[in-house]
Structure 1
Amino acid sequence: MGDFEAIDALLARAGKAVPLPPAEERRALRQELNLSRAQLAQALGVSPSTVGGWESGRDPSGEVREKYAYFLEGARTKLEAAAAAAAAAPAAESDPAREPEEDVSGDAGQGVAPDDDVDVLAVARPCVLCGQPAHHEVAGYPQHLDPAECAAAVNAVAPPTSRADRAPTASDARPRPGGRPAGGVRIVPAGRRVQPADTPDLIAAAVAAALAEHSGDVEAATAALVKRAIPDAMALLDHSRKGGRYDVIAHPWLPDILRKQTSRGADQIWEARPKWTRPELPPGEHEVTALDINGAYLSALKTHLPIGQLEHSTGDRHDRRRAGVHLITPPVWEHDAVLPNPVGSRDEPGPLWVTEPTLRLLLRLSGPKYGLCDPPEIHESWTSGATEGLLEKFRVALKDARDAAITEGDEVTLEYVKAMYAKFVSTLGESNYNRELYRTDWMHLIRSQAFANLWWKAHRAYDEGLMVVRAMGTDELHVIGDWQAVFAEGRGLTEVKVKDVYVVGADPYSDPHTEDGRDDA
């Protein structure tokens, strides 16, 4: 009887989908209310890019469709009522000198090249990370593109002047973007850097417990923390995923190309690891500075990762909403005399399986902005729906702990955090040390992102007039010239350290130097 009742209830709920207006009208209704995609997305419990898809012609389904239809109908009613009231008001009451309202729709600057994956905002809006004005929008969220800009924006904010000390202005009554009242207490938006007061600091708690257990013995506590870095990293990842919009498949089925061919062999994925040395230098002696890129794997956690199980497709087409591995024929690289090949050091010709970061790097370099090579030819792909922010809370927690440890001279926490992110990446594949997450595809993508990040630093050095001499692994870049005019020196993720300084002459590469590509702090 219960089954029949369930069917009756299903039939009672069944019906035609709630009608929606055309895509152009959906966008117009939102914009006329001065609402951004992010604001509407938050109210509906979806992402801003999903709202953008609905405004481009895709239709939602299920309960969210009903909510979206309710919003659109309410928006239409509100606008019609406002138009009727405006028509009834005397024309003399209109103020032609009134300033136009700020455009907070987030739709300005849509003409950005598609390979940048970033929108430029015509009007600055509060960054979701630091709350200060940002001029770019990523995936529908306004934010600074460089974490250093967030820090600079926060430090540049002066204490608000008391309203009692000045005359009121018209701007006092004007609503501020992001819900920040003029002259009042700053309301920090609930972004990825903001944690509720009751959120435990798992890293600090683990360090304190280890020091207490070993009676303050720094070396013993550090060794114990490094030993448990993998399970602690997984606990931190689980904690950071609470409330997330995606359920991660921890042990998906993987295609044969992602499986080791022999017990001690490798799979078929090429990570594009650079091991490049400039073939020739100008005559004379040159001072070369070997720069160490800080936290290469930590920075690389911000990359497009497939969420679910990989699905196979064929054809020479790249879908930016998905990520995975791709069989490509790479383009000819004609700049090896001054820059490393984005595909890495590879002697064999023909197609090869590359990761998402490598493919996106090649596609960007082949675009009109750079024009350094032809587009790669894509033959087939294994991909899934993806997001660049899947590990962002995890990455930010590690980064914040690392930054605090450097500031406070806390070497115990620093070594612990380094072990957490380094071992997390290295044990994602076929490893007996991490049974909780088996994502060989993620391991390859994160490591390749680190290599791609190093390549972009080499390109930046070259573009700023430095002579690039070597690029090795994930964190080693050798240059000739005033590198301090290009890179900031320090231990932060956006900074570099000097690893070595040496002089080369007529035989520039006779000197022995480290080429281990080790990922340092």
Structure 2
Amino acid sequence: MSDFDAIDSLLASVAPEADLPERPVRRELREQAGLSKAQVARALAVSPSTVAAWESDRDPAGEVRTKYAYLLDGLAAKLAPQPEPAEPAEPAEPSPASPPTTTAQAAQDTNDTNSTSGTNDEDDDVETLAVPEPCVLCGAPAGQRVAGFPQHLDPADCATAAPQAPAAEPAPRRTRPEAPALRTPRAEARPGDRDAGPRKPPTKRAFQPQSGPPDLIAETVRSALAAHEGDVEAATAALVRKAIPDAMALLDETRKGGRYDVIAHPWVPDILRKQTARGADSIWEARPKWTRPELPPGEHEVTALDMNGAYLSALKTHLPIGQLEHSTGFDHDRRRAGVHLITPPHWAHDAVLPNPIGQRDEPGPLWVTEPTLRLLLRLSGPKYGLCEAPEIHESYTSGATENLLEKFRAALVTARENAIAEDDDVTLEYVKAMYSKFVSTMGESNYNRELYRPDWMHLIRSQAFANLWMKALKAHEQGLSVVRAMGTDELHVIGDWRRVFAEGRGVTEVKLKDVYTAGTPLTDDDPTGPGAAD
């Protein structure tokens, strides 16, 4: 090869980067097409968090940029408003009949058309899905993927398909526009509309029903049962195995149109990193492990209660939205959340209530989470006055909201309640696996690489512990004797617990776990026994 050939080869390899629309337009195109970040990520071989970054603060480069630009151009072409066909001035010559062009076929290159038979050879780009996925047009389950997009082959099966009137000629095939054109909603044409002039935009009405995400959980369960021919055990096992990616897909779906973008892989301080491969980080979660040192005199019937959906309820907690920032000082900003280095207050009520920071052997400062700090501040306030306020030395926090995962939590709660009402153990086990594995793998885990938020993991766990502690306090204030508090969901009490807690399987109710006897029967010689003097 000559020097000039080498230079020509080098110049040929240097091509201008593909143009991309503005970042808000990228997100709008994806959402209008009904695609999740996970779907786009799979097509481009990247993570959903990378797609989120492309829609907020970064641009791709290299080959993946070209692929991403091609996808966005294709979405813009599909979502462009359809022009009304012009009325022909003269009757057109009859032409050989051809089948109507479907949305999937329109996405293929015109060279795919079989000119000999007059039909479209769509089987080349059609992939049959083992588990149906949401159609990119209507969101309903579709059993095929066409040109990389799940969708219905028959327009009649698509929820967006409207009855088609016979047309004189098929609409011309559309080429990609130079700039992305966003879809705008249009009202259906009515007689006389053409002469009515510009239509006044409809008034935004109050108290209209909110459109939510498709019922991904029910659709996935139905698909799993169908794939395993009704074998409940096999379907349940398959669903539990894919609980982590399915939970991430549900999170992505419920975050559409959200006020805040989730930062999936932010920088985290060293205190949130494991010091060794099998070790722990520096955060103390305040896990309860307490048994009452002494029972009241006499023999007692103790009831062990189980708190339903502890981690599911704990998804409603103040979570930091962005990257954690360092600060020092005693002041606590309730608009922010994170982890805090504190000196905990002295606890003088171990005889009847567990310590809010759990059983800790070493004195001195420790790193606690937002729920633990808020619980201590609440107990030190004028309403309870059970301890002094903790001393805050330094913090890592970010702007926070309590409702960041609320739609995600609500979807899981609804699915759980429906499963209980219908005695559907498959869905119940699937939902439980989704939220429990979601919480346990969002830290340093090889099972979930789409979300790395060890701060969230600690905060959600601590919120579950704080919720159990508040139930213990409620029982104590209502005259029950608290005997034991363990983990996230175990509370043992003496007394009529049904007047304090609602019994049932709902997330706000408790279940009876066990009943046992503890203590020593009183004797006549006992000063507090039945033979004691009045």
Q: TM-score with structure 2 length normalisation? A: 0.59
- Which amino acid in 2 is paired with 1:427? T
- Which residue of 1 is the match for residue 184 of structure 2? none
Distance 1:238 1:495 in 2: 29
- Which amino acid in 1 is paired with 2:500? V
- Which residue of 1 is the match for residue 502 of structure 2? 488
Closer/same/farther in 2, CA of residues 188 and 345 from structure 1, 3 Å limit: farther
Pairing 1:421–2:435 present:
yes
Pairing 1:258–2:272 present:
yes
Q: Deviations over 1:484-503 (max 9, x none)?
A: 00001100011000111000
- Which amino acid in 2 is paired with 1:437? L
- Which amino acid in 2 is paired with 1:236? L
Could you tell me which of 386, 393, 399 is aligned with 1:379? Answer: 393
Pairing 1:469–2:483 present:
yes
Distance 1:342 1:363 in 2: 11
Could you tell me which of 284, 303, 307 is aligned with 1:270? Answer: 284
Q: Deviations over 1:14-34 (max 9, x none)?
A: xxxxxxxxxxxxxxxxxxxxx
Deviation at 1:347, TM superposition (A): 1.2
Q: Deviations over 1:69-125 (max 9, x none)?
A: xxxxxxxxxxxxxxxxxxxxxxxxxxxxxxxxxxxxxxxxxxxxxxxxxxxxxxxxx
- Which amino acid in 2 is paired with 1:208? R
Distance 2:490 2:378 in 1: 23
Distance 2:209 2:427 in 1: 28
- Which residue of 1 is the match for residue 72 of structure 2? none
Could you tell me which of 377, 392, 400 is aligned with 2:406? Answer: 392
Note the 1:3-402 alignment, pairs <5 A: 187-188=207-208, 190=210, 195-196=211-212, 199-402=213-416
Q: Deviations over 1:468-517 (max 9, x none)?
A: 0000000000000000000011000110001110001239xxxxxxxxxx
Query: What is the Cα-based RMSD across aligned positions, in Å?
Result: 1.5
Distance 2:487 2:455 in 1: 19
Ranges in structure 1 where 5+ consecutive residues have no aligned partner: 1-177, 181-186, 508-521
Deviation at 1:348, TM superposition (A): 0.7
- Which amino acid in 2 is paired with 1:480? I
Q: Which has the larger radius of gyration?
A: 2
Ranges in structure 2 where 5+ consecutive residues have no aligned partner: 1-203, 522-534
- Which residue of 2 is the match for residue 91 of structure 1? none
- Which amino acid in 1 is paired with 2:418? A
Deviation at 1:188, TM superposition (A): 4.9
Q: Deviations over 1:239-275 (max 9, x none)?
A: 0000001111100111000000111000000000000
- Which residue of 2 is the match for residue 405 of structure 1? 419
Deviation at 1:189, TM superposition (A): 5.6
Give SS of 1:454's match.
helix
Distance 1:489 1:228 in 2: 32
Distance 1:349 1:238 in 2: 42
Could you tell me which of 436, 442, 458 is aligned with 2:472? Answer: 458
- Which residue of 1 is the match for residue 150 of structure 2? none
Give SS of 1:338's match.
coil
Deviation at 1:386, TM superposition (A): 0.3
- Which residue of 2 is the match for residue 142 of structure 1? none
Give SS of 1:313's match.
strand
Deviation at 1:282, TM superposition (A): 1.7
- Which residue of 2 is the match for residue 15 of structure 1? none
Give SS of 1:207's match.
helix
Distance 2:519 2:509 in 1: 29
Deviation at 1:283, TM superposition (A): 2.0
Distance 2:476 2:442 in 1: 34
Give SS of 1:288's match.
strand
Give SS of 1:312's match.
strand
Distance 1:506 1:325 in 2: 45
- Which residue of 1 is the match for residue 67 of structure 2? none
Give SS of 2:233's match.
helix
Give SS of 1:216's match.
coil
Note the 1:496-507 alignment, pairs <5 A: 496-506=510-520
Distance 1:366 1:179 in 2: 45
- Which amino acid in 2 is paired with 1:485? R
Q: TM-score with structure 1 length normalisation? A: 0.60
Q: Deviations over 1:162-221 (max 9, x none)?
A: xxxxxxxxxxxxxxxx977xxxxxx4564xxxx34xx42100010000000000000000
Deviation at 1:284, TM superposition (A): 1.4
Q: Deviations over 1:329-381 (max 9, x none)?
A: 00000011111100011111000000000000000000001100000000000
Deviation at 1:233, TM superposition (A): 0.1
Structure with more helix by fraction: 1
Closer/same/farther in 2, CA of residues 504 and 188 from structure 1, 3 Å limit: farther
Closer/same/farther in 2, CA of residues 188 and 503 from structure 1, 3 Å limit: farther
Q: Deviations over 1:123-150 (max 9, x none)?
A: xxxxxxxxxxxxxxxxxxxxxxxxxxxx
% of aligned pairs identical?
A: 81
Give SS of 1:417's match.
helix
Closer/same/farther in 2, CA of residues 189 and 200 from structure 1, 3 Å limit: closer
Distance 1:403 1:204 in 2: 12
- Which amino acid in 2 is paired with 1:435? R
Distance 1:410 1:188 in 2: 31
What is the aligned residue count?
319
